[in-house]
Amino acid sequence: MKVAIFSSTRYERRYLDEANKSGKHELHYFDVSLNMDTVGLAAGYGAVCVFVNDKADAPVLSALHEGGTRLLALRCTGFNNVDLEAAAALDMKVVRVVTYSPNSVAEHAVALLLAVNRKVHRAYNRTRDSNFSLDGLTGFDLFGKTVAVVGTGKIGCVFARIMLGFGCRVIGFDPHPSAEFEALGLSYATPGEIGEKADIISLHCPLTPTTHHVINSETLKRAKPGAILINTSRGGLVDTAAVIDALKTGQLGGLGIDVYEQEENLFFRDLSSEIIIDDVFQRLVSFPNVIVTGHQAYLTHEALTTICETTLESVSAFEKSLPLQNEVKVG
């Protein structure tokens, strides 16, 4: 089957080619994002494969359908960038990678937490300049601290298990309680408990209309002063302007993010020779207690292998009119 792959990178192409080593599919790579300006590139392709910052709204899906596309394959778990109702109206199937390596994302969240808390980024820059002063690098023991896990799916449970290994007290928040989370001997937060007790808040939930800006000025006001916030899920979970205000007052003691709500204009591109005109982002990275990585939490060998294999398995199933195990449907 002819597959147009948007937002493709050199490292992804190696894994996709390996997953397609039998040559079942005809893969064509485009390094540009999918949107109304680029959708014409997909004409004649029965399947289109996209990533987190590709736009698959109603106009784009309609244009894809007119060009012959009948399958939209997301090589990611989240699908907030897809208009599922429009896809259903066009009878266009949408598939995703339900799970790849929850360990990769959870471990990256821990890496961000450790780096923010122990000022690893600042120490790295100092020692490269032969500055071995320790002033301003004091952190705190994770042992005995309270960690709030917002979203207790597979990734949240792995993160919780790691935090238990550090000797932390872990509480969860999720409208859909997880038996796996409870099997770890953990409980869900009571009203107000996160704000009162959490020293660390880590986000592991999908972006939906109800979770958009779940971290906002009001929730930050109720947070424990000096708490650290970690987000490796979706940028839209966090009201960045509110976070900046909380960082300025010290209400928020640190921030580690792998996602950003306006990241589609920045991430996955080399902008080192350009001036970034996003003033909010520039303000954010000016804080010494903030670490930003460019949506790399998933970037491990194991995760990439699973993502690419699962994506092409879905394409094969669609081509053979077999049930789509990873189909995303409205509702």
- The CATH number of the domain holding residue 52 is 3.40.50.720
Catalytic residue among 96, 234, 261, 264: 234
Of 9, 7, 10, 15, nearest to 311 (Cα)?
Answer: 15
Domain check: are 7 and 88 in the same one?
A: yes
CA dist 303 and 307 (Å) reads: 6
Domain check: are 247 and 197 in the same one?
A: yes
Residue pair 95/74 in contact by the 8 Å Cβ criterion? yes
Active site residue 263: yes
Domain check: are 119 and 216 in the same one?
A: yes
DSSP 232: -
Work out the number of other CB atoms within 10 angstroms of the CB of residue 130: 6
CA dist 189 and 213 (Å) reads: 19
- Work out how many domains the chain is built from and give that number: 2
The 8 Å CB, 24+ separation contacts for 137-144 are 140/199, 142/113, 142/117, 142/166, 142/167, 142/168, 142/200, 143/167, 143/168, 144/168, 144/169
**18 within domain boundaries:** yes
Domain check: are 184 and 276 in the same one?
A: yes
pTM for the whole structure: 0.90
Work out the number of other CB atoms within 10 angstroms of the CB of residue 177: 13
**82 within domain boundaries:** yes
**328 within domain boundaries:** no
H helices of 279-319, in order, are 279-284, 301-319
CA 306 to chain centroid, in Å, comes to 16
Per-residue pLDDT 10s for the chain (331 aa) are 999 999 999 999 999 999 999 999 999 999 999 999 999 999 999 999 999 999 999 999 999 999 999 999 999 988 999 999 999 999 999 999 988 889 999 999 999 999 999 999 999 999 999 999 999 999 999 999 999 999 999 999 999 999 999 999 999 999 999 999 999 999 999 989 999 999 999 999 999 999 999 999 999 999 999 999 999 999 999 999 999 999 999 999 999 999 999 998 899 999 999 999 999 999 999 999 999 999 999 999 999 999 999 999 999 999 999 999 999 998 7
Active site residue 70: no
**324 within domain boundaries:** no
Active site residue 234: yes
**327 within domain boundaries:** no
Residue pair 267/295 in contact by the 8 Å Cβ criterion? yes
Catalytic residue among 263, 309, 313, 327: 263
Domain check: are 92 and 106 in the same one?
A: no
DSSP 178: -
Residue 284: which domain range? 102-292
Domain check: are 273 and 134 in the same one?
A: yes
Catalytic residue among 75, 96, 204, 295: 295
Domain check: are 310 and 276 in the same one?
A: no
